[in-house]
A and B are shown apart, each in its own frame.
Chain A
Amino acid sequence: MLKRVHYNSSYLPYLLVTPQIIITLLFFIWPALQALYQSFLLEDAFGLSSEFVWFDNFIELYDDPNYLSSFTRTGFFSLAVASLSMGMALLFAALADRVVKGARTYRTLLIIPYAVAPVLAGTLWLFLFNPTLGIISYFLEIIGIDWNHKLNSTQAMSLVIMAAAWKQISYNFLFFIAAMHSIPKSLIEAAAIDGAGPVHRFRTIILPLISPTTFFLLVVNIIYAFFDTFGIIHSMTAGGPGNSTEILVYKVFNDGFVGLDLGGSAAQSVILMVVVILLTVVQFKYVERKVQY
């Protein structure tokens, strides 16, 4: 028989979740509804006149070839950022997990990048890869690679992916290392006694046991790449060269906060919201089946 605590009063559970619900309503639902309402409006920057235009803002987006092509770009960018940052974090966590001496120092150093603001992260990478002044572009030139992300679309895309992924590695690392710590040592020791090497142990024991964390991080990372990366892109490439690093959220930011076109920007953010909701549903429906809790 299951051990259960029963509360007789019916209002207590509601009372306990109220703060959470209020926060969700105030900071998530209300802004989302406002964005939805704003997306149907055509308004001047100062808000002096506004007109209800139904789906005009959406139709306009549909007519914009640059906007449509930015979907595939965003998909590629998000996948690349998520896999790169999770892959690196997993590697670091696996290595840091085995370190005995100075483990704390390694962990601290690996977590530091998380404290760096996105714009700052972008600027740091920009300095390293500056075609004229950058130290890395200087070494690349020595080995025969002409680095100029201001003109080369592929290089520009790789640069923003690297910077965005780097920023997220620490976060992923924290979760991975915590998950690894929660695996009972006896399991791993038993496998070691049975003759399984470190790689084999990692593949057959650690990886399956941390799969809930991996799944959680996948969802979080995709959302991060979709929503939180405009600062990095703004400071590094401003969407260029051409439109080659203009992902959906960057256009939302740029049209809304730089271009002051609130209706168009709101319409884009509504679309983005729908895309991310769909993606998350898909992940829970299909990817989660492979997770062992």
Chain B
Amino acid sequence: MLKKTIIAAAVTASFFSTTAIAAVEVNWWHAMGGTNTERVNKIAADFNALQSDYKINAVYKGNYTETMTAAIAAFRAKKQPHIVQVFEVGTATMMAAKGAVYPIEQVMKDSGVKLDKSSYLPAVISYYQTPAGELLSMPFNSSTPVLWYNKDAFKKAGVENAPKTWSEVTSTAKKLVDSGMKCGIAIGWQSWALIENYSAWNNISLGTKQNGYAGLDTELSFNNKFVIDNLQRLADMQKDGSFTYGGRRGESLAMFTNGQCGMWINSSAYYGSIKGQAKFDYAQAMMPYDEKVTSAAQNSIIGGATLWTLRGHKKEEYKGVAKFMEYLSSAEVQAWWHQETGYVPITTAAYELSKKQGFYDKNPGTDTAIHQLSLNTPTENSRGIRFGSFVQIRDIINAEMEKIWNGSKTAEQAMNDAVTQSNKLLRKFEKANK
């Protein structure tokens, strides 16, 4: 009896190991930490269980910058993965590396897998398309900044609705502080929210050449009156605590969830964290627009990351990539991913499916991000941005904004300096990527 079991086990084991060898392996480097690692692993495992021709190996490589740096270093050493997850500000760098990147639309076409671009949310894919419309990378996790607010605090301060414009934000913040709160509003990922998205949402340009889409000889021009005035307004709001600065990234989350600040502008993907941490009634609303610039909001731009395919592998392996991408963007996977993480669904089908499943009825406000992204057809100012060295440019912007917040520069000086320094980097990038 025992002997039989052992033989059976050995036979099964050898069977499984041979199928494992037969499957074409595809490596996927990603930057999804924490609970999202498990979700990514589940997607890969589900795909592997579904078919036996290909095997996706999902490997966590650290945060966004670390993953990108690792992939680039691996490429230089000719050990690159097939798929790498790159955040949105790395888009221009990836795009410029024509010899290294295999555009996903091409991958799908070469492998004979259908790609229906019209099924994707326009605001999501327009960020990753060439001016001619070719899709370069597969959108995976996308989010957009929204206005989070503390409903209990609003009630206490006698505020009924979430503010829609920046002057309403100012007066609401004041009321919150007057009602005894330590801080009215905090803002995370400030360059993304207050400069990049502020410009798109109010439909003004961030730089020349269609925000960099039309050429590497682009120049930044966000040192305009509107951006400056809005930043100066926030700087002035600091005096009574109406606005409090809480760090360059998402650190100010704690200030919102512990009830210190009544409002918080940051990514919709913080849904999970807020849900877990906030001990009060909260909601999300659309970002405020600036009524001095426009009478209605345009559409916001995304943050998050896409999956890029790197060159240098065998043809059948790319077929595996294409098959996996097809699976990944299926309505079921996307709807599940969206509902679990708070990232927006990338296809209309996934959105419709979530609607049908009653997700938005059960969790009101979770569709704010999608509404924001698809509020209007994206314009040249609002489809996205494409500037080289943007990781460093964001550092420059962050540093200059901090100089506004601690009073060592006026908003005007800071923005002028940020633009001058950033444009130097753009020129260097242009020269290096001729």
Q: Which residues of A contact B (CB under 8 A)?
A: 42-49, 51, 60, 63-64, 66, 130-133, 150-153, 238-243, 246, 254-255, 257-261, 263-264
Q: Are B406 and A153 neighbours in the complex by a CB distance under 8 Å?
A: yes
Could you tell me the distance between the alpha carbons of A258 and B405 in the complex, rounded to whole angstroms?
25
Give chain A residues whose Cβ lies under 8 Å from the Cβ of B69.
257-258, 260
Could you tell me the distance between the alpha carbons of A246 and B254 in the complex, rounded to whole angstroms?
26
Q: Are B260 and A46 neighbours in the complex by a CB distance under 8 Å?
A: no
Give chain A residues whose Cβ lies under 8 Å from the Cβ of B171.
none
Could you tell me the distance between the alpha carbons of A258 and B100 in the complex, rounded to whole angstroms?
19
A-side interface mostly: loop
Q: A133-B254, A151-B405, A261-B392 are in contact. Are A243 and B399 (CB under 8 A)?
A: yes
Could you tell me the distance between the alpha carbons of A259 and B433 in the complex, rounded to whole angstroms?
15
Give chain A residues whose Cβ lies under 8 Å from the Cβ of B98.
48
Q: Is B6 an interface residue (CB 8 A)?
A: no
Could you tell me the distance between the alpha carbons of A257 and B395 in the complex, rounded to whole angstroms?
13
Could you tell me the distance between the alpha carbons of A49 and B408 in the complex, rounded to whole angstroms?
41
B-side interface mostly: helix
Could you tell me the distance between the alpha carbons of A258 and B247 in the complex, rounded to whole angstroms?
19
Counting chain A CB atoms within 10 Å of each CB, the highest count among B98, B399, B405, B421 belongs to B399
Q: Are B389 and A259 neighbours in the complex by a CB distance under 8 Å?
A: yes
Counting chain A CB atoms within 10 Å of each CB, the highest count among B100, B389, B395, B433 belongs to B395
Could you tell me the distance between the alpha carbons of A47 and B100 in the complex, rounded to whole angstroms?
10
Could you tell me the distance between the alpha carbons of A259 and B387 in the complex, rounded to whole angstroms?
13
Q: Are B255 and A242 neighbours in the complex by a CB distance under 8 Å?
A: no
Digit string of B394-408 for contact with A (CB within 8 Å is 1, else 0)? 010011101101101
The 5 A-B residue pairs with the shortest CB-CB distance in the complex, in nearest-first order: A259-B392, A241-B402, A46-B97, A242-B403, A151-B406
Could you tell me the distance between the alpha carbons of A246 and B395 in the complex, rounded to whole angstroms?
11
CB-nearest residue of chain A to B257:
A132
Q: Are A258 and B254 neighbours in the complex by a CB distance under 8 Å?
A: no
* 30 pairs, A vs B, C-beta closer than 8 Å: A42-B431, A42-B432, A45-B97, A46-B75, A46-B97, A47-B76, A48-B100, A49-B432, A60-B424, A64-B424, A132-B254, A132-B258, A132-B260, A133-B254, A133-B258, A150-B245, A152-B406, A153-B408, A239-B395, A240-B248, A241-B399, A242-B399, A242-B403, A242-B406, A258-B65, A258-B392, A258-B395, A260-B93, A260-B389, A264-B428
Q: Is B24 an interface residue (CB 8 A)?
A: no
Could you tell me the distance between the alpha carbons of A232 and B362 in the complex, rounded to whole angstroms?
44
Question: Closest Cβ of chain B: how far from A285's Cβ, in Å?
Answer: 37
Question: Closest Cβ of chain A: how far from B39's Cβ, in Å?
Answer: 25
Q: Is B72 an interface residue (CB 8 A)?
A: yes
Q: Are A261 and B255 neighbours in the complex by a CB distance under 8 Å?
A: no
Give chain B residues whose Cβ lies under 8 Å from the Cβ of A260.
68-69, 72, 93, 389, 391
Count B interface residues, CB 8 Å: 41
Could you tell me the distance between the alpha carbons of A131 and B245 in the complex, rounded to whole angstroms?
11
Could you tell me the distance between the alpha carbons of A264 and B254 in the complex, rounded to whole angstroms?
37
Give chain A residues whose Cβ lies under 8 Å from the Cβ of B248.
238, 240
The residue that A46 contacts in the complex, of B76, B402, B425, with Cβ under 8 A, is B76
Question: Closest Cβ of chain B: how far from A238's Cβ, in Å?
Answer: 6
Give chain A residues whose Cβ lies under 8 Å from the Cβ of B3.
none
CB-nearest residue of chain B to A133:
B254
Digit string of B50-81 for contact with A (CB within 8 Å is 1, else 0)? 00000000000000010011001001100000
Give chain B residues whose Cβ lies under 8 Å from the Cβ of A238.
248, 395, 398
Give chain A residues whose Cβ lies under 8 Å from the Cβ of B251.
150
CB-nearest residue of chain B to A150:
B247
Q: Are B72 and A239 neighbours in the complex by a CB distance under 8 Å?
A: no
CB-nearest residue of chain B to A66:
B421
Q: A132-B254, A258-B391, A258-B392 are in contact. Are A45 and B93 (CB under 8 A)?
A: yes
Q: Is B314 an interface residue (CB 8 A)?
A: no
Q: Are A44 and B433 neighbours in the complex by a CB distance under 8 Å?
A: yes
Q: A242-B399, A259-B392 are in contact. Are A132 and B255 (CB under 8 A)?
A: yes
Counting chain A CB atoms within 10 Å of each CB, the highest count among B97, B255, B406 belongs to B406
Could you tell me the distance between the alpha carbons of A255 and B65 in the complex, rounded to whole angstroms?
12
Q: Are B72 and A45 neighbours in the complex by a CB distance under 8 Å?
A: yes
Could you tell me the distance between the alpha carbons of A184 and B60 in the complex, rounded to whole angstroms?
56
Could you tell me the distance between the alpha carbons of A151 and B400 in the complex, rounded to whole angstroms?
12
CB-nearest residue of chain B to A57:
B428
Q: Are B72 and A259 neighbours in the complex by a CB distance under 8 Å?
A: no
Digit string of B226-269 for contact with A (CB within 8 Å is 1, else 0)? 00000000000000000001111001001100101000000000
Q: Is B96 an interface residue (CB 8 A)?
A: yes
Q: A42-B428, A42-B431, A254-B395 are in contact. Are A242 and B76 (CB under 8 A)?
A: no
Q: Are B406 and A241 neighbours in the complex by a CB distance under 8 Å?
A: yes
Could you tell me the distance between the alpha carbons of A263 and B251 in the complex, rounded to whole angstroms?
32
The residue that B433 contacts in the complex, of A49, A130, A132, A257, with Cβ under 8 A, is A49
CB-nearest residue of chain B to A263:
B432
Q: Is B4 an interface residue (CB 8 A)?
A: no
Give chain B residues whose Cβ lies under 8 Å from the Cβ of A132.
246, 254-255, 258, 260
Q: Is B434 an interface residue (CB 8 A)?
A: yes
Give chain A residues whose Cβ lies under 8 Å from the Cβ of B392.
254-255, 258-259, 261
Q: Is B99 an interface residue (CB 8 A)?
A: yes
Give chain B residues whose Cβ lies under 8 Å from the Cβ of A263.
432
Could you tell me the distance between the alpha carbons of A47 and B400 in the complex, rounded to whole angstroms?
31
Question: Closest Cβ of chain A: how far from B243's Cβ, in Å?
Answer: 12
CB-nearest residue of chain A to B406:
A151
Question: Closest Cβ of chain B: how far from A136's Cβ, in Å?
Answer: 16
Could you tell me the distance between the alpha carbons of A258 and B90 in the complex, rounded to whole angstroms?
11
CB-nearest residue of chain A to B253:
A132
